[in-house]
Amino acid sequence: MTNHIVLYEPLMPANTGNIARTCAATGATLDLIYPLGFELSDRNMKRAGLDYWDNVNIVEHDDLNAFMATLPSTEHLYLITKFSDLIYTDQDFSDTASDHYFMFGKETTGLPEDFMHQYRDHCLRIPMTDKVRALNLANTAAIVIYEAVRQQGFAGLEEHHVYPHDKWK
């Protein structure tokens, strides 16, 4: 089982770099749906991801249809949007026999409206006040992926960090 953070046409390289670092920390795959608003060699993206790039599995897709064609089913496809009555914490992500795909839209316009309508039963939201239009994309991805790995018992993640020195005892 693999969790996937799927970015639909991301525009901001620093967001994608930060999300890549979150993928490295959680073992998630980063799926990028073209076109991107930057080059993968962008130094802002590379800087945000620090030196973790070797630990990130990045899968590139030519467009939304090409991405959808790679899914074995849409059962575990989740569209993260503020336009949903379903809250992400109410969803069961504990199935460790299947991959889970958490799709996030473009920073400026989100996911295509017709696509969200087609998969409206797969839409999830993070509650927030009406004082902001949206949360930062990298923060949103981190919130959702960590809920998924929590429900999956933090499988494959280090739950207790062993300090290298006795000074912490």
What is the C-alpha separation between 149 and 72, in angstroms, rounded?
21
**Counting Cβ atoms within 10 Å, is residue 30 exposed (0-12), middle (13-18) or buried (19+)?**
buried
Residue 33 is assigned to a ligand binding site: no
Residue (of 84, 32, 23, 33) closest to 54 by Cα position: 23
Check: CB of residue 67 under 8 Å from CB of residue 108: no
Are 100 and 4 within 8 A, CB to CB?
yes
Edge-first strand listing for the sheet containing 77-80? 57-61, 29-33, 3-8, 100-104, 77-80, 123-124
The answer on whether 80 is annotated among ligand-binding residues is: yes
Residue 5 annotated as part of some ligand binding site: no
Q: Which tokens is 86 given?
A: 């379903």
Binding-site residue ranges: 80, 105, 126
Binding-site residue ranges for S-adenosyl-L-methionine: 80, 105, 126
